[in-house]
Structure 1
Amino acid sequence: MSLFAIRDYRRLFSAQIIALFGTGLTTVALGLLAYDLAGPSAGTVLGTALTVKMVMYVVIAPLVAAYVDRLPRRTFLFLLDAVRAGVVLALPLVTEIWHIYVLIGLLQAASAAFTPTFQAVIPDIVTDESDYTRALSASQVASTMESLLSPVLAAAALAVMSFDRLFLGTSAGFLVSALLVLSTRIPDARPSGHTRAWDKAAAGIRTFLRTPRLRGVMALNLVVAAAGSIVVVNTVNHVRDRLGGSQSDVAWMLAASGGGTLLAALVLPRVLDRIAARTVMVTGAGVLVGGTVAAAALVATGLTGWTGTAIVWTVIGAGMALVITPTGKVLRASVEPNAVPGVFAAQFSLSHLAWLITYPVAGWLGTNAGFTLTWSVLAALAGTGAAGALLLWPRHDGQTAGGPATPVRPPARTDRSALAKAA
């Protein structure tokens, strides 16, 4: 409660929540727009649009993180929300598929710039170290809950309106987020200690590459992306073409995956008090591999129906929560407090890099080769990631059942690069 008693943090966090849900609702509406324009080829359109999104996240987010200390941050955040509001407002007016790609590129470039800027502002507003740690966790929880609630809200809205109206609502949401940013007192940024922008952008990634447990997290990112791409990219064609469902049915099937996330989230806090994060996350990877294999088996045998799809989608949602939710705990425990923002920024880019690999597979291969082969390939990628995590993340790395992994401590005679050494 002390965290949310901070006026400026409360307003900025509210802006982030509204922007997150705006992005989530836009994703649902975008899938329906792609189906409206391309029909059976919607998977290709959506896969390409989401690939554009991932390119923007992987390329732009690190660059913004590197230069964010040189920007007027409140004005920058306001402009990013304004750009997103304008782009979303234009989406229902498109008549050509290439229009979607251009607008999504602009939208996701703004979204990719928003997150690292928001993360850079937090430590200047929340000065207490324990509150700052909770602020990072709250941001991660918000992202997780958005994936659950956005499809539910979209399904409820689609019951009474057409999908193009969702764009109007999300545009208004981005404008509200922009006004909340303007009402927040954001201090001027302190210059970074890095002399070159690339040093700052690459610091967190170097830590990932040199730390065994964080290399394991990178492998788990591939598992999450492989399984999640089936849900995000292929749900619209699967529900509309194979199951004969409606627009609202698409949203409800997406919500089934979110329901799995919620069920896992309800039990995880107590589980993580007793079981090491590595065990929970590797278990989640196993669940995701099982979910992707089950999805491929169902379409291969022709047994896919409403019940089977909903069960598999729920399992995938639960597995994603098992992997994603403890990730912040592992990141914080792997470095000193002053290096936490760097590894969070690196995880943001590296996780989206995994999606950049799997989105085209789900979209392009799904349209041209069918779901059986596509989901088998994604299951193989998920299995590869799970095996990589087992090999890269040592079973005994200082974790205890009742707490996080032992932090990496730098030797007194070395610089901060020593933080990246293996646990």
Structure 2
Amino acid sequence: MNVLTTFSALTNPLFARLYFAQTVSQIGDALTWVGLALLAAQLAGPAQAPAVLAIALTLRVTAFVLFSPLAGVIADRVNRRTLLAVCHFGRMVVIGLMFFASAVWQVYVLMFLLNALTAFFTPANQATVPLVVGRDEARPAFALSSATTELLGIVGPGLAGLLAALLGARALFALDALSFLGAGLLILLLPALRAEQGAVDRSKLADVRDGTARLWRDPPVRFALLMELVAAIAGALILTVTVTRIEGGLQLGEAQYGWVMAAYGLGATLASLAVGAAGKRIPLTRFIALGALVTGAAILPGDLLPLGGLMLFWLLAGVGQNWVNLPTETLLAERTEEAAQGRVYGAHFAWSHLWWAFAYPVAGFLGTHLPSRAFFLGGVLALLVLGGVWLTHQQAVRRATGAASAP
């Protein structure tokens, strides 16, 4: 496998502009979430800041589930360059207003608006990748975007913390607004981006239903979507209970928590590069099945591991998470015709976040009521779901893909 294959997508000038626009905006995103945590502590006090953040995350998922199916339909019907630019500039305005927020309710309103715009942006951006590189070259393009996202997830919070110390927490929102401005201007350098399709004689509601129907009637795509539930269960445990294990169980501090979560992000980054380097030699459904197994199994011993063990197993969990989510994005491109990709990505964005809306309360219950066994029980639940999906879909996926060894 050649890791440089992952970067081959940048030889396409249209994708390169799209990629750099996404990267600029994601640097700003890293600033936003650190700024939000600091702003919550300022407005509500340190004791209530977690509650404020929890409500903000709930509003985030709610906006995604409500708006992304419609957003995907609109992406199929309009010039995506215009849609992407409007979303960037809209988020610039909303984040700019966060600089002036003086009450918690204002934070809630602005975060809902921000994520409503993100719900329109993300499916359109995902559907645009195969549009500019072609379905056959989508794997390295998605892999590079994923690797960059994961890498920024590692270095972004540290950069945000440094800038907050130098400039103040609210300055992070101003910098993020500038990142969206820059990303929007880069998008405007692209030519018109519109999916090829004939005259549209269906209602938007019919297209919303069609997007979801396409997810569930195609066995490999349905298999991937259900495996994302496995990843959501394991991922929710990692994101919500790791801090309890580090600070409560191991009696360590914030620095050690950062190391463990950095290992998790590093695993996802390396996994992205591996998917891109593998090219088409490994079926996507095999990556997805292996990833679900790895991330579910990796959290099983989490209640007993010391710091070094947690870092190693969380790195593996990050690999598994990525090997479920990244190949699924590519699978959607390869198994959906261009004219329907927007609504399919929109429906997928909603359903995949609905899994997290289920997984977060499960993780919260286990972490609160059964903290000494939370990772083990969560891992068992994830692997039970995996087993059920495998048993019910294995033969159908093999027939649909025409590969005797898949998934």
- Global fold match (TM > 0.5): yes
Partner of 1:351: 352
Residues 1:230 and 1:41: Cα distance change in structure 2 (over 3 Å):
farther
Is 1:152 aligned to 2:155, yes or no? yes
How far off its partner does 1:394 sit?
A: 1.4
Matches of 2:191 and 2:105 in 1, distance apart?
40
TM-score by structure 1 length? 0.76
User: What one-letter code is carried by the residue in structure 1 that aligns with 2:261?
Assistant: L
Residue 154 of structure 1 aligns to which amino acid in structure 2? P
User: Residue 86 of structure 2: SS of its match in structure 1?
Assistant: helix
Task: For residues 72-119 of structure 1, give each alpha carbon's deviation from its aligned partner in whole angstroms, at most 9, with x where no partner exists.
Answer: 654443332223223334446555544433222111111111123334
Deviation, 1:180, is 1.5
Letter in 2 for 1:405: T
- What's the CA shift string for 1:372-406, capped at 9, x where partnerless? 4654564354224312321232157448xxxx934
What RMSD, in angstroms, separates the aligned Cα atoms of the two structures? 3.8
The within-5 A match list for 1:164-203 is 164=169, 165-186=171-192, 193-203=200-210
**Alpha-carbon distance in structure 2 between the residues aligned to 1:384 and 1:194:** 43
Report the secondary structure of 1:393's partner residue.
helix
Identity across matched positions, percent: 28
Partner of 1:390: 390
Q: Please, which of 377, 401, 404 is the counterpart of residue 405 of structure 1?
A: 401
| One-letter identity of the residue aligned with 1:320 | Q
Aligned to 2:64: 57
Matched, 1:379 2:375: no
Q: Do structure 1's residue 316 and structure 2's residue 324 form an aligned pair?
A: no
Q: Choose 132-141 or 45-54, whichever is displaced more.
A: 132-141
Q: Aligned pair 1:138/2:138, yes or no? A: no
Bigger drift between 340-349 and 197-206 goes to 340-349
Match of 1:23 among 12, 24, 29: 29
CA distance in 1, matches of 2:242, 2:172: 18
* Letter matched to residue 226 of structure 1: I
Q: CA deviation at 1:202?
A: 2.2
* Structure 2 unmatched runs, 5+: 1-6
Give the corresponding residue for 1:67.
74
Decide which of 224, 245, 250 is 2:253's aligned counterpart: 245
1:258-273 to 2 correspondences below 5 Å:
258-268=265-275
Deviations 1:193-227 (A, max 9, x none): 35111222222321222222222212211111112
Question: Structure 1 residues 224 and 186 mapped into 2: Cα distance closer, same or farther (>3 Å)?
Answer: same
Deviation at 1:251, TM superposition (A): 4.6
The secondary structure found in structure 1 opposite 2:192 is: coil
Task: Please give the alpha-carbon distance, in whole angstroms, between the structure 2 residues aligned to 1:240 and 1:161.
Answer: 24
Structure-2-length-normalised TM-score: 0.79
Matched residue type, 1:10: A
Give the AA of the match of 1:107: L
Q: 1:270 to 1:176 in 2, by over 3 A?
A: closer
C-alpha change, 1:267 and 1:79, in structure 2 (3 Å) is: closer
Moved over 6 A (4+): 188-191
- Asked if structure 1 preserves the Cα contact closer than 8 Å seen for 2:87 and 2:120, the reply is yes
Alignment of 1:212-227 (within 5 A): 212-227=219-234
2:253 is matched by which residue type in structure 1? Answer: G
Shift of 1:305: 4.9
Say which is worse superposed, 333-342 or 14-23, in terms of deviation.
333-342
Aligned to 1:104: 111
Q: Tell me, in whole angstroms, the C-alpha distance in 1 between the residues paired with 2:209 and 2:182.
A: 34
